Amino acid sequence: MALRAYISTLFCALFVSILLAQPKVEKEMRVKKEAVPENAVRWIDESLESLPNIHWYLEKTSGVQSYEAKFTKSDRRYSVEFSEDGSIEDIEYIARWKDLPKEVMNKLDSYFQNEYDRVKIHKIQVQYTGADSTLSRALRKDDILSLTRRYEIEYYGKKNREKVFWEGLFDERGGLIEKREIIQRPVDNLNY
């Protein structure tokens, strides 16, 4: 019986480590509004009530295709991600380290110190998910802070002389949910 429990525990640990180590390969390209699913465009139009300068992107991440609307509202840079069929997936805005809640900063600091010799944060995004109507209402009324949030952080983690570019998804208190290595695309042009 003890052997079975040990094997089950080992299998679960292996499964979690594989899940956490899935690499992220991302390609993003600008598209015209007409190329985006109609329900995504309608959601943005209804939620933002004619906000100018909305830019649309097609994103391919590790074989999965989605659409993103990017815009600035109330001095924040937002992106709203939709699935390939136009269903909303999440809302994100770019944040700075100093704007994070103290509790979150402390938990993240602890995680980074325990896992790496050195960390350099590249980008922090505050992420919101939920029902279409709740997200729409929150965005329309600039009340996005009332929703449950997560933190998506891109960072370089150095450990034992190896430097890896990671994307970590952390819960509203700063606890790690998942992380994956970001595989950067080689540049298309070579400079001689």
**Inside any domain, residue 118:** yes
Please state the domain count of the chain.
1
Domain range for 147 is 21-183
**Inside any domain, residue 12:** no
Supply the pLDDT for residue 73. 87
Question: Which residues neighbour 172 within 8 Å (Cβ) at sequence distance 6 or greater?
Answer: 104, 148, 149, 150, 151
**Inside any domain, residue 158:** yes
Structure confidence at residue 49 as a pLDDT band (50, 70, 90):
confident
Structure confidence at residue 16 as a pLDDT band (50, 70, 90):
very low
Supply the pLDDT for residue 7. 40
The CATH number for 120's domain is 3.10.450.360
**Inside any domain, residue 7:** no
pLDDT at 15 over 60: no
Supply the pLDDT for residue 63. 81
**Inside any domain, residue 96:** yes
Give the whole-angstrom CA distance, residue 84 versus residue 58. Answer: 9
Query: In the chain, pLDDT over 70 holds for what percent of residues?
Result: 80
- Tokens for 105, please give them: 């900063």
From 99, 49, 53, 46, select the one nearest 72 (Cα to Cα): 53
pLDDT digits (tens, 9 = 90+) for 102-145: 999 999 999 999 999 999 999 999 999 888 888 888 887 766 66
**Inside any domain, residue 16:** no
**pTM, to two decimals:** 0.77
Give the whole-angstrom CA distance, residue 128 versus residue 21. Answer: 23
Supply the pLDDT for residue 61. 80
